[in-house]
Amino acid sequence: MHKNIPVVELSISEYSGSIEKHGIVHNFAHLPLGTAATSGKDAENIVPFELNEWWTGRSIPASRDGIQATLEALGIYGTVLLLTKCYGLSLSDQYWICPKDSGLRWETVNFFHNDFSKDIGEILFGHEPADSAHLNLMSPDNTSDGWLRKKWIIADGKRCLMKGGSGVFKQEPFNEVIASAIMRRLNIPHIPYTLTVDNGKPYSLCENFVTPDTELIPAGRVIKGFKKNNRDSHFAHLLRCVETHGIPGVRAALDKMLVLDFIISNEDRHYNNFGFIRNAETLEWCGISPIFDSGTSLWYNTQRVGSLVESKPFRKSHAEQIKLVDDFSWFDMATLNGLKDEIMETLSQSEDLDEKRLAAIASAVTERCGQIEKMANVKPSLIR
């Protein structure tokens, strides 16, 4: 189902949780992007492998921090089996599965309007659920991606995502706040992140930006089904796919994303942590999504602050990837005055970072801002 629109009939294995076969296609246009052939003799036919990949890709990845202990606590051997426990519902899009003859409606089961269980989130965070004997698995945590520990909560009626850190420094939550500060100053559309604490550990907190009427389509889905021309770079291929779909305002927004990722040395801007917003009913494209998920940055897992790190998704180095930016005219160095102090203040809230590391990160970001200023050929100024 796509909200209340029947899309395709499925048979799902009760043993593996994967799609065994599909039946009648009720609405080809509303199939998940990339799950059906769009040209040739097989046009408008579902590609079974792609449909199952999309479905199993909705589940918590096996690499998620703490997931094995969670599965043991639930008595379930694989994360895909959790999908049917919540009808495949997500807070990122409006797709779900409706058991045959159940009479269920999207309005009564979706997580945007209805409360959801905290049990999975509590287990994922290493806590004991309120009633361990009667676990409620109706939760959007079953369909959250990424490898960091995370859970959805409802705060003041808003759906918010809590996400943790990793390694020795547990730096990712603080990095999200710093990236938010840089984008706020540079007027880059983004999702604001704040800091919170759970059981003495730091987490980032952000409000869901997907609404009951819209959905996030990852860039990896947008390029599905389009064969890459050998003459095209990965960047050119994405732009070609975007143009074919008719998604507006993408080129200028990508410039800003690449500048941000250069400044913070983002190591993990892969095709699933940026994407595009679409109306779930009309299928009209609204444009690129605000920037989110920037925590894997600022030398989060190395002692060598300021060292060269690999970039994604278009080039393997930030020095090469930043050359893809077409327009720097929007970059205003003056808006970054005071950024160094703001970075220090944010990082000082961590119990895992010493003063030397704080100062090194703040200085490295300052230096990279200066590099962007030179590229933009704007009037020199200082970040104080």
Q: Each residue of 337-352: pLDDT tens digit? A: 999 999 999 999 999 9
Cα(89)–Cα(133) distance, integer angstroms: 24
For the stretch 192-203, what's the b/e string if a residue is b when 16 or more beta carbons lie within 10 angstroms of its beta carbon?
bbeeeebeebbb
Q: How many CA atoms lie within 13 A of 167 on its CB side?
A: 12
The verdict on whether omega for the bond into residue 313 sits within 30 degrees of 0, i.e. cis, is yes
Is position 368 within any domain? yes
Is position 41 within any domain? no
CATH code at position 335: 1.10.1070.20
The pLDDT of residue 40 is: 57
The pLDDT of residue 220 is: 96
Is position 20 within any domain? no
Is position 73 within any domain? no
Q: Based on the structure, what is the number of domains in the chain? A: 1
Is position 66 within any domain? no
For the stretch 103-123, what's the b/e string if a residue is b when 16 or more beta carbons lie within 10 angstroms of its beta carbon?
eeebeebbbbeeebbbbbbbb
Q: Which residue in the block uniquely carries the two structure tokens 């500060």?
A: 181
Is position 8 within any domain? no
The one-digit pLDDT tens for each residue of the chain (384 residues) are 999 999 999 999 999 999 999 999 999 999 999 998 766 555 568 999 999 999 999 999 888 887 888 888 888 888 999 999 999 999 999 999 999 999 999 999 999 999 999 999 998 888 888 777 788 999 999 999 988 999 999 999 999 999 999 999 999 999 999 999 999 999 999 999 999 999 999 999 999 999 999 999 999 999 998 889 999 999 999 999 999 999 999 999 999 999 999 999 999 999 999 999 999 999 999 999 999 999 999 999 999 999 999 999 999 999 999 999 999 999 999 999 999 999 999 999 999 999 999 999 999 999 999 999 999 984 444 443
Cα(274)–Cα(293) distance, integer angstroms: 8
- Structural domain boundaries, residue 259: 214-376
- Find out whether 111 and 159 touch, Cβ atoms under 8 Å: yes
Residue in 133, 104, 99 with CA at minimum distance from that of residue 119? 133
Cα(163)–Cα(121) distance, integer angstroms: 11
Is position 352 within any domain? yes
Is position 132 within any domain? no
